[in-house]
């Protein structure tokens, strides 16, 4: 298996999170659950932003990355609020990781400018994030993550802040990018229809635990009734 996460655990006053799952290479897995069910915490544990419990084990592409620093994991992350650096031009935002890993700024800008074209953002390189629409900012954010060639990309509600037509567009862009850049993806969402549209596998979370997981095509709407309420 390409990605294995065992015993992703974290305890807070009101919830005890405990999740294990696997993903095949080149697939998209959606983690779906109500607000507060522990989805973002699971992503933070995967990318190494939260402290692991001793039983935790994370394998990516045959390599045990459990104790590895976040920057060394070859995991990219895209957030809902895109978290671009507002004081940096678009090209410098996209080039940021390259510069951090030793590439000279001038060269990194050229690579970033070329890279932006694949995201429909040619000519945007000198703009600043506060001049971009929500959809444009999210595409810059995707470019900034993918330029580092991550093996695994984590998306935390990347479409939630956008309106419905734009969400559809960006969801299909994410699928296209996945084929182009050949990454494995895990996307958190509270929208089951979005999950079904983009993912091969669905994991339903409730109160910090996995409630159901399986292929998207085997997902049954009945699971959403009664005790599993995804409305927020």
Nearer to ligand ADP (CB atom), residue 14 or residue 231? 14
Rule CB under 5 A: is residue 40 a binding residue for Mg ion?
yes
DSSP reduced 3-state for 53: coil
Q: Name which of ligand ADP, Mg ion, none residue 158 binds, using a CB cut-off of 5 to 8 Å depending on partner kind.
A: none
Q: Name which of ligand ADP, Mg ion, none residue 86 binds, using a CB cut-off of 5 to 8 Å depending on partner kind.
A: none
Distance of CA 52 to the CA centre of its chain: 19
Rule CB under 6 A: is residue 111 a binding residue for ligand ADP?
no
Tell me the backbone φ, ψ of residue 184, rounded to 5 degrees: -100, 135
Q: Which burial class, exposed, middle or buried, applies to 59 when counting CB atoms under 10 A from its CB (0-12, 13-18, 19+)?
A: middle
Q: Name which of ligand ADP, Mg ion, none residue 41 binds, using a CB cut-off of 5 to 8 Å depending on partner kind.
A: ligand ADP
CA distances from 170 to 63, 103, 120, 150, 220 (A): 31, 30, 12, 19, 25
Rounded Cα–Cα distance for residues 163 and 215 (Å): 27
Q: Contact 80/35 with Cβ under 8 angstroms? A: no
Instruction: State which of residues 1, 11, 12, 85 lies at the interface with ligand ADP (CB under 6 A).
Output: 12
Q: Contact 204/216 with Cβ under 8 angstroms? A: no
Q: Name which of Mg ion, ligand ADP, none residue 38 binds, using a CB cut-off of 5 to 8 Å depending on partner kind.
A: ligand ADP
Kindly determine how many residues on this chain lie close enough to bind Mg ion according to the rule CB under 5 A.
1
Nearer to Mg ion (CB atom), residue 40 or residue 93? 40
Nearer to ligand ADP (CB atom), residue 26 or residue 36? 36
Which part of the chain contacts ligand ADP (CB under 6 A), choosing from 19-27, 37-45, 115-123, 223-231? 37-45
Minimal distance in Å, beta carbon 19 to ligand ADP?
11
| Tokens standing for residue 122 | 């040619």
Nearer to ligand ADP (CB atom), residue 32 or residue 153? 32
Instruction: State which of residues 6, 7, 15, 200 lies at the interface with ligand ADP (CB under 6 A).
Output: 15
**Biggest CA-to-CA distance, the chain:** 57
**Binding residues for ligand ADP, per CB under 6 A?**
12, 14-15, 33, 35-41
């Amino acid at each position: 298996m390409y990605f294995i996460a065992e015993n992703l655990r974290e305890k807070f006053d009101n919830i005890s999170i405990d999740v294990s799952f696997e993903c095949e290479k080149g697939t998209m897995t959606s983690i779906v659950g109500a607000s507060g069910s522990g989805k973002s915490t699971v992503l933070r544990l995967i990318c190494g932003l939260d402290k692991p419990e001793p039983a935790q084990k994370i394998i990516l592409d045959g390599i045990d990355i459990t104790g590895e620093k976040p920057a060394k994991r070859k995991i990219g992350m895209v957030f809902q609020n895109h978290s671009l650096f507002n004081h940096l031009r678009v090209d410098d935002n996209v080039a940021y990781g390259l510069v951090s890993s030793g590439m000279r700024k001038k060269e990194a800008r050229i690579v970033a400018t070329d890279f932006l074209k694949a995201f429909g953002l040619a000519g945007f390189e000198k703009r600043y994030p506060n001049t971009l629409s929500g959809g444009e900012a999210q595409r810059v954010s995707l470019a900034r993550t993918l330029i580092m060639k991550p093996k695994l990309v984590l998306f935390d509600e990347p479409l939630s802040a956008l309106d419905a037509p734009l969400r559809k567009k960006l969801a299909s862009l994410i699928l296209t990018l996945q084929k182009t850049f050949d990454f494995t993806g895990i996307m958190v969402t509270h929208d089951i229809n979005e999950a079904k549209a983009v993912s091969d596998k669905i994991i339903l979370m409730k109160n910090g635990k996995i409630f159901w997981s399986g292929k998207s095509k085997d997902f049954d709407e009945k699971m959403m009734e009664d005790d599993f309420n995804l409305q927020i």
